[in-house]
Structure 1
Amino acid sequence: MPNAGSSKRSLEEVSLLSEELFRKYVHAGAIRRDADAVAALFAEDGVFEAPLVPLRLVGRDAIRAGIGEIQRASAVEGPVDLSRSGYVLHETGDPGVFVAEIDTVFEDGTAVALVQIFRVRDGLITLLRDYFRAP
């Protein structure tokens, strides 16, 4: 049941908001490799989890530092080949949750498939579970 004063969003609005947030996340992380910009997309108490690594970062400062470390430690140096990479977003029964299936190909030919689950509140990521293994 919605809280008093809350407004319902149409599925189209939810999809547009999910798409916009996901694109900002990809642009900040995979394309620009900007840990500050990635952290800014999270709520102050947001959580980034990578269960297969395993890694859990709580709060913007920890996310900024942790994402920066992941980027520096990456075996892949080159940029993402956008023409060979793609994704599909899936809405869930909860308007604050969406899932991204991602196939990333880097310019050196390295390919990575991953799944991300986003929990969002007020346009910010509160929890991101990133199921990936570093190449």
Structure 2
Amino acid sequence: MSRSPQEIFESYVHAGTLTGNADALAEMFTEDGVFEAPLVPAGTVFPRRLEGREEIRREMAAYYQRNAKGGGAPNPQKTGYVLHTTSDPDVFVAEIDVVFDGAGEDATISLVQIFRIRDGKIARLRDYFAPRWAT
């Protein structure tokens, strides 16, 4: 039984943004999966392009560890998203407004993610967000 875009997206958010579990996140990708953040400048803390499940695992674990101390936590109750299916059943798009609790004011990051699925796993994910959050 294949998983719906909603199930895939919610699992991805839980593994990544909510728990910072690089192992769970990497297992969501195909062996040759690609994670891209095309708007992120080269040399920033957030990886711009990762190829293969093991590189995704290694680099995202390092990213989560570096950023464990900083910034506010994402607030799932204030965060919203809309999923859009496409004419290709293996492609869906997520529009997201992530709200981070901070000292004083909340901060919102608006982004778009394009998911390409193969055999129930993420074959390619393009994550479009403001580069200022990648540093």
* TM above 0.5: yes
Q: State the alpha-carbon separation in 1 of the partners of residues 91 and 100 from structure 2.
A: 28
User: RCO greater where, 1 or 2, for CA within 8 Å and sep 6 or more?
Assistant: 2
AA aligned opposite 2:39: L
TM-superposed deviation, 1:72? 3.5
Q: State the alpha-carbon separation in 1 of the partners of residues 92 and 63 from structure 2.
A: 23
Gaps of 5+ in 2: 42-47
AA aligned opposite 1:57: L
AA aligned opposite 2:35: F
Query: Aligned-pair RMSD on alpha carbons?
Result: 2.0
- Tell me which structure has the larger Cα radius of gyration: 1
TM-score, normalised to structure 2's length?
0.82
Q: Deviations over 1:46-68 (max 9, x none)?
A: 00011011411110111112222
TM-score, normalised to structure 1's length?
0.82
Gaps of 5+ in 1: 1-12
Question: SS state of the match for residue 57, structure 1?
Answer: strand
Q: State the alpha-carbon separation in 2 of the partners of residues 125 and 23 from structure 1.
A: 13
Question: SS state of the match for residue 4, structure 2?
Answer: helix
Which sits farther off after the overlay, 62-71 or 107-116?
62-71
State the number of aligned residues.
122
Aligned residue in 2 for 1:67:
60
Aligned residue in 2 for 1:27:
14
Aligned residue in 2 for 1:39:
26
Q: Deviations over 1:20-73 (max 9, x none)?
A: 000000000011111111000000010001101141111011111222233344
Aligned residue in 2 for 1:6:
none
Aligned residue in 2 for 1:110:
107
The percent identity for this pair of structures is 51
